[in-house]
Amino acid sequence: MRILFIGDIVGEPGRRAVRKLVPDLRSRHQLDWVIANGENSAGGSGITPDTASEIYASGVDVITSGDHLWDQKEVVKLLENERRFVRPLNYPAGTPGQGSALYEVPGKGMIGVINAQGRAFMAALDSPFLAVRAEVHRLREHTPVIFLDFHAEATAEKIGMGRLLDGAVSAVIGTHTHVQTADEQIFPGGTAFLCDAGFTGPHESVIGREIDPVLRRFLTCQPQRFTVARERVLLQGAIIEVDDASGHARSIVRVSEPLPDAAKP
């Protein structure tokens, strides 16, 4: 099974990159499944049913989320009605939505997708380590192919999660920092790992936002309106090839695909 994971989609430029580039990536790399983190897809903060529909129509099979889950009130419709949308697993019991799901990949069998959120320098949700370990045990009754989007700030927390799950899941890919790391590897037990997939959107920016307002905030400590930037749009993420029978990763390759300048709205 060949899986493309797309790092945090930021605003309209990020959605445009997905729309323009994913069909070609699916064909060129013979992809079987595409997962994307969409938590910043609506105006750079949060997600709505409309932005989710645009992402699905572009060739994405499942959307994951993170700490900006609640930034758009319309997200409740996704949580209640869209089985292709996965929010962090480690929210308290009774939170709307699902933290994991099983999907049938045509011709390849089942895949389990989990989303979890870290706690270091982030909101104090339930322990992602305990929640994910229990969920992996449950999903492995159905499939050995399991993918985790771990939305976390601290590199040590992400690496710790990867080491905890080595051999039990196919891939642990980090999101949230919007800076693609160069530590892609396959751990000894067969789990592919990347500390951060990067982000899909404008890279002539400060992690997707216009540069000047961010600098003014740093210089003055005064509130600023952080608008989504526009230039040098990249689709970032990773392609993981997984053995269907064992669930072990065979390879992991980072993706950083530029959107051609001609590809305007």
Q: How far is CA 145 from CA 6, 33, 113, in A?
A: 18, 12, 9
In sign, the C-alpha dihedral spanning 91, 87, 31, 263 is negative
CA distance 68 to 117: 11
* Number of DSSP helices (H) and strands (E) in the chain, helices first: 6, 14
The phi and psi torsions of 15 (rounded to 5 degrees) equal: -65, -40
Q: Is the separation of the CB atoms in 198 and 190 below 8 Å?
A: no
Token output for 50: 């409309």
Per annotation, catalytic residue among 68, 151, 176, 203? 68
Q: How far is CA 182 from CA 64, 158, 163, in A?
A: 22, 14, 17
- 176 is a catalytic site residue: no
Cite the active site residues.
68
